[in-house]
Amino acid sequence: MAEAHQAVAFQFTITPEGIDLQLSHEALRQVYLSGLRSWRKRFIRIRNSVISGVYPASPYSWLFVVVAILATMYTRSDPSMGLISKIQEHLPVSESLSVQSQMVVVAVLFGTLIWFSFILAMRLFLKLLLSYQRWIFELHGKISITTKIWAVLIKLLSGREPLLYSYQSSLPNLPVPAVRDTIKRYLESVRPLMSTTDFQRMTALATQFENNLGTRLQWYLKLKALWASNYVSDWWEEYVYLRGRSPIMVNSNYYGMDFLYVTPTSIQAARAGNTIKALLLYRRKINLEELKPSHIPGTVIPLCAAQFERMFNTTRIPGEEADTLQHWKDSDYVAVYHRGRYFKLGVYRAGRLLSPRELEFQITRILDDPSPPCPGEEKLGALTAGDREPWARARKEFFGSGVNKRSLDCIEKAAFFVTLDDDEQGMMGDDPARNLDIYAKSLLHGKCYDRWFDKSFSVVVFKNGKSGLNAEHSWADAPTVSHLWEYVLASDAFQLGYDGEGHCKGELDPTLPRPQKLSWDIPPECQEQVTQSLMVAQTLADDVDFHVIPFRDFGKGRVKKHKISPDAFIQLALQLAYYRDRGMFCLTYEASMTRLFREGRTETVRSCSNESCAFVKALEEGEDMDVCRRLFRLAAEKHQNLYRLAMTGSGIDRHLFCLYVVSKYLGVESPFLKEVLSEPWRLSTSQTPVQQIELFDLVNHPEYISCGGGFGPVADDGYGVSYIIVAEDMFNFHISCKHSCAQTDAHRFGAHIRQALQDLLKMLNTDKKDPAGASQTPAQTDKQKTR
């Protein structure tokens, strides 16, 4: 009852003697501290906006410029070439000010004008420098003088410590490739996949498109590129993600795993406490812009940070025709699910973040809460796992008012979502490999109702302390979530830590108010829709075949000794494995990032090339090893060049996608574009980058490595393969496909991948020649992959 009384700031009672007013000083103190925290955050946002707004200059440089102008004026010099006199003549208050005051006002005005001009000039110069792309095409160890000078200039302009969003206004816009170039690259990419007759037909369609409709569509696209900061990203978010009407579970959402070999604590509440604390500390770093801007590793080249803006306090809202992303500026609680019940867990007390020990205490209260779920509450999350249209109609009909709206608002406006799972997961037991596969499937879809798939991300903490997360895809790509998860895992294990019994550290305030259990009034009609959505989701989840491979035979260290890009090595191994698995080649998707440009997201690298097919055929047909090695190096260099083109805005698929969108707006049909965009990606691949290796001490603690994450199959008859290159001696693969396709098998394909990796290294090891002359892109390029 004391907690309930403290929640009310004042009470009053009307008596015959008058009104008896009773104030709760503790409640008023909480209100005051919460308001103080809110105003402090507003001030910090304004301050950071100013600092980032004037970057690459400093706010203090304004004072220097004004003082310099004043000094020149006092020495009776005129650096403005008469402009200062003009300003003084037209100063509205010149008659009411003394001469010295006028000088100060004029100096401030002119100095501010010069300062802003200087900022714009520096920003334009930095944008021009960042538009230079030749560096990425130069061979490792053969950097030109131009590129060296360019790198020095960027470093000089970036000398002041930038905030998270400081580079945003200086990043170049994504360029629109020429239609001729895109079509040429497209035809080259499909040549090994088509018969001569089909290729001639496609060439005719492409030529007709280029000479007729393509020119008209390109004009509109260039117009958009002049107006918008990125001509792809808004359409990509809307048409690829938000307009999709099929379930986002499995089809769109992806997951990230915990440490592979260790679990910092086996106490579920403690692991949840540290994880929530680390996530909130990361959110604070984003709000204060204390995170360092991401760069191409080993370089000074910044990457776009726009995707960090909607990481927290964000939910995907279902719509009948298209979903929307809703983001709130702040949230002081998280939503928690346990045994069919939803809770609202406040994470602040007296204007401060709860300590890990306090969060563990609150989580324990939820775990020990004996109350049953409300009727229809237990499987309510299945609405977010099924088809989007039924969920949109149900939300409008049953959650538009009253207690259901209030409870749904609590979930959607939460900082993020937490599931306290009753299962135990991880690489454990008598069959650790099989249990690892089950662990991956659990993170991908769970029970189909115990995750809130619409939240920007949902954290899952299992009964034995193992953890992971499931992320919604429309707001950001995997590297952004990976950056968050790396920080959380490192902070949990190495900064926050646990005591000798496995509990969280920190002070504990036992008077904390209990987490609030949400209430629902779910009518039978809504419960019926929940059941139907669960059936759809369960059918989809049961059809997923998953296999995780921790490959420890060798890693990138052995590969790089042969002067081969590790990513190209893996991609060629995947081509070899697929050919052995299916006896043919297929259209292959590898995700590349375009965050060198403002609001950039991804581009497709078509990894199945003429060169890769020639190598695979030569190897499988028993050609001489020298011939195979030569073809292998040609294929690896081709892959790297395709990746460079994709990173620098000269990819194929995003350009054709946007041309297709324009054609739909204009109401015209293009047989060429229609056929191109209907081609299935039977092998969809993605590398999860390790971006903050400095957070992990893999020398002294090699067991603290993440297994990365994965996603569901893109095509019904294809494979999804996610991989992570861990340190120097390990690759991890996450392979998905569908049981309903008789031609695919995740375990079989995994065995082919393992054998392909070993065969490729064996082939390279038999090379007695010095491969130093072989070309290789800088290692930094290999690390920046995204789904």
Neighbours of 626 (CB within 10 A): 12
Active-site position among 90, 327, 445, 473: 473
CA-to-CA dists, residue 552 to 258, 286, 452, 456, 701, angstroms: 18, 35, 35, 33, 16
Query: Is 253:458 a contact under the CB 8 Å cutoff?
Result: no
CA distance 180 to 7: 67
By C-alpha distance, which of 745, 713, 433, 741 is closest to 580?
745
User: Which residues contact residue 409 at a Cβ distance below 8 angstroms, ignoring those fewer than 6 apart?
Assistant: none
DSSP string, 548-604: EEEE-S--HHHHHHTT--HHHHHHHHHHHHHHHHHSS---EEEEEE-TTSTT--EEE
Neighbours of 145 (CB within 10 A): 7
By C-alpha distance, which of 307, 279, 280, 314 is closest to 293?
307
CA distance 724 to 783: 9
CA distance 222 to 637: 31
Neighbours of 693 (CB within 10 A): 14
Q: Omega into 56 within 30° of 0, i.e. cis?
A: yes
Assign 544 to helix, strand or coil. strand
User: Which residues contact residue 167 at a Cβ distance below 8 angstroms, ignoring those fewer than 6 apart?
Assistant: 55, 158, 293, 302, 304, 305
By C-alpha distance, which of 707, 385, 706, 320 is closest to 540?
385
Assign 609 to helix, strand or coil. coil
Calculate the dihedral angle through the C-alpha atoms of 657, 659, 664, 666, rounding to the nearest 10 degrees. 170
Handedness of CA 22, 28, 31, 35 (dihedral sign): positive
What are 140's two structure tokens?
Answer: 């490792």
Query: Is 782:565 a contact under the CB 8 Å cutoff?
Result: yes
Q: Which residues lie across from 62 on neighbouring strands?
A: none
Amino acid, single-letter form, for residue 224 = K
CA distance 360 to 273: 4
CA distance 31 to 47: 24
Handedness of CA 193, 195, 196, 199 (dihedral sign): negative
User: Which residues contact residue 601 at a Cβ distance below 8 angstroms, ignoring those fewer than 6 apart?
Assistant: 232, 233, 236, 237, 307, 477, 593, 594, 595, 786
By C-alpha distance, which of 478, 256, 253, 477 is closest to 385?
253
User: Which residues contact residue 551 at a Cβ distance below 8 angstroms, ignoring those fewer than 6 apart?
Assistant: 730, 731, 732, 733, 754, 757
734 classed as catalytic: no
What are 235's two structure tokens?
Answer: 């359409």
Query: Is 250:444 a contact under the CB 8 Å cutoff?
Result: yes
Crossing angle for the helix pair 145-157 and 99-130, nearest 10 degrees? 140
CA distance 386 to 247: 5
CA-to-CA dists, residue 116 to 59, 66, 220, angstroms: 11, 12, 33
By C-alpha distance, which of 640, 654, 573, 652 is closest to 785?
640
Which residue numbers are catalytic?
A: 473
